[in-house]
Amino acid sequence: MSLLVVGSVAIDSVETPLGRAADVVGGAATYFALAASFFAPVRMVAAIGDDFPEQALSDLRERGVDLSGVERRPGTTLRWSGRYHEDMNVRDTLALDLGVFAAFQPLLPAAYRDSRFVFLANIDPRLQQAVLEQLPAPGIVGCDTMNHWILESRADLERLLQRVGILVINDEEARLLSGERNVVRAARRILTLGPKTILIKRGEYGVIQFSANSVFAVPAFPLEEVFDPTGAGDVFAGGFMGQLARSGDTSEAGLRRAIVYGSVMASFVVEDFSYRRLQTLTVEKMEQRYRQFVSLTDINGG
Amino acid sequence: MSLLVVGSVAIDSVETPLGRAADVVGGAATYFALAASFFAPVRMVAAIGDDFPEQALSDLRERGVDLSGVERRPGTTLRWSGRYHEDMNVRDTLALDLGVFAAFQPLLPAAYRDSRFVFLANIDPRLQQAVLEQLPAPGIVGCDTMNHWILESRADLERLLQRVGILVINDEEARLLSGERNVVRAARRILTLGPKTILIKRGEYGVIQFSANSVFAVPAFPLEEVFDPTGAGDVFAGGFMGQLARSGDTSEAGLRRAIVYGSVMASFVVEDFSYRRLQTLTVEKMEQRYRQFVSLTDINGG
């Protein structure tokens, strides 16, 4: 089943302890769409500027991503530059220029309106809400957010969360949203805000999922070299939602397998800058790492 | 099969964000022995001072721990006081007085010399070596260490590691010992120093095990309240080595199950100060949490 994503598309300049890349394509929607495209047809809603490279659009099209909801507007594409610390769980934003993204108003092509699987990547919660209002029958709604909206647009975010099934955030965001430092308490608190399921991303330590009756935790796939963590969380979400759309299985077991697929996809994207690693990735390699992941976590395995 | 532990016994004063406890019994050997006693007969080698409370010795005896290797010497017991940060993965040592521990020379009672399962808790690597020299046929040798010995007694530690089968350290120690920041590289490097298996403890994020042909990672059991993390690592080691001694199964699958038992025991001890929670714990409760742990990590479960 097809999967709709709305979110940012960006041009990034990134510096990590292992190297740097200037003016490479990034953005949550880009990373999400490319990862999800390994599982299901993806429809994308975003805004880009005059400066956005045609090559990146080709790359997305080549992976079958439907770009009819990507609007090119006069001006510059969102630009972000950041530097990762030696501890790559920590990064500093060096510059941010919203460009055409500042006036982004997501408008869904008519053909997108039957989307059943929807992911609202991190943008203003009012825009996320506006997307939902254009969808007559969204089935599974996943959502990300960030500290800025939690602090500055709390009421809008809380209104939105009542319509969100699966919230995908990182541990810092979970703490800020809940006011609880402990991850279990944070999740319990957030479950009262609407979502039936919370996925808390913990960087190199993996993901923990909470729902009313179940907790599931997986480590991240251990890698000898993390080249660039940019986009890992978005790629995780793309693999996760992609697998849900591919299988149609949103049972607890289906969610768990989808979390592992998300983790697998994230483990690939950090092996190179931007989305390069996803361009050479095959479904076969992906399924192979899925099996490695199962063995990595199997208490009775070995 | 019986399990020998050598290490510190201490009187601790601990402050956590949730409370404080003054002059409570701690020390790696104490925590290890109490946890391991749920699995196998434990033999303990340690030094205590005049001030060590008789009650704690009774508590250990009550759990079947053999104290014939615990030497009471004139002077004071090792005293440690520390304060945990809001982020309980971080703590400051406020005071440390080695007391009789400064002159500790482990001497094994004759009846201990047939021990097949041995755990060398964190003490001077020369003393750890001295213990091994008193054991004609140690089968499985586990070992912990700390930053101080890695920095100050590297040659002694490296000599010891050649005789260690399973090294159990935390992530910071693994980085320091290996000179590698990345956990996979760190483990690969440490495997060249002697141990066949490395367990790296990551606090609230669980444990990751490396051997030549296999990697296994488990999260920590998610708790709503961590009251006092003191001793969690030692209790983990006690549950881990205890389960190996109980089952006699040191295959990869046996190691994995033992890691889960260690994690289960650690998840209990942090629920209260000192070793209090282990005093009320039953084998039934332990096995119940083991099953919860399996379900927590089961990719096809739910």
- Model pLDDT, residue A104: 95
Taking only the tens place, the pLDDT of each residue in A102-157 is: 999 999 999 999 999 999 999 999 999 999 999 999 999 999 999 999 999 999 99
**Mean confidence (pLDDT) of chain B:** 96
pTM for the predicted model, two decimal places: 0.96
Pair of tokens at residue B26: 């701690």
Q: At residue B241, does pLDDT exceed 80?
A: yes
Task: Pick the closest to residue B96 from B108, B82, B75, B114 (CA basis).
Answer: B82
User: Chain B: which residues have CB within 8 Å of chain A?
Assistant: 86-87, 181-185, 188, 202, 204-206, 208, 214-219, 222-226, 251-253, 255-257, 260, 293-294, 296-302
Quick one: pLDDT at residue A302? Answer: 72
pLDDT of residue B88: 86
pLDDT in tens, B2-31: 999 999 999 999 999 989 999 999 999 999
Instruction: Report the residue of A90, A180, A200, A216 to disrupt the B interface, i.e. the one with the largest count of B CBs within 10 Å.
Output: A216
Q: Pick the residue of B84, B170, B205, B300 with the most A CBs within 10 A to test the interface with A by mutation.
A: B205
User: What value does the mean pLDDT take over residues B225-242?
Assistant: 96
Averaged pLDDT for residues A91-100 = 94
Predicted pLDDT at B301: 86
Give B214's contacts in chain A (Cβ within 8 Å). 302
pLDDT surpasses 80 at A92: yes
Shortest distance between the Cα of A110 and any Cα of chain B, in A, equals 37
Instruction: Quote the mean pLDDT of chain A.
Output: 96
- The DSSP code sequence of A120-148 is E-SS-HHHHHHHHHT-SS--EEEE---HH
Which residue from B86, B184, B205 is facing A205, i.e. has the nearest CB?
B205
Average pLDDT over residues B252-274: 97
Is B302's CB within 8 Å of A253's CB?
A: yes
Mean pLDDT of B157-166: 98
pLDDT per residue over A236-293, tens digit each? 999 999 999 999 999 999 999 999 999 999 999 999 999 999 999 999 999 999 999 9
CA distance B169 to chain A (A): 17
Contact (CB, 8 A) for A231 and A121: no
Chosen for mutation from A84, A184, A196, A297 (greatest number of chain B CBs closer than 10 Å) is A297
Residues B235-247, mean pLDDT to the nearest whole number: 98
Q: Given an 8 Å threshold on Cβ–Cβ distance, is B222 in contact with A225?
A: no
pLDDT digits (tens, 9 = 90+) for B205-220: 999 999 999 999 999 9
State the smallest CA–CA distance between residue B217 and chain A in angstroms.
6
Asked if A296's CB is within 8 angstroms of B294's CB, the reply is no
pLDDT > 90: what percent of chain B? 96
Contact B255/A302, CB-based, under 8 Å? yes
Average pLDDT over residues B112-135: 97
Reported as a pLDDT band with limits 50, 70 and 90, residue B87 is confident
- The encoded tokens of residue A153 equal 């647009």
| A35-52 per-position pLDDT tens digit | 999 999 999 999 999 999
Residue A275 to chain B, least CA–CA distance (Å): 22
Q: Which of A226, A251, A302 sits opposite B216 (nearest CB)?
A: A302
Are the beta carbons of B223 and A182 separated by less than 8 Å?
yes
What pLDDT does residue B112 have?
Answer: 97
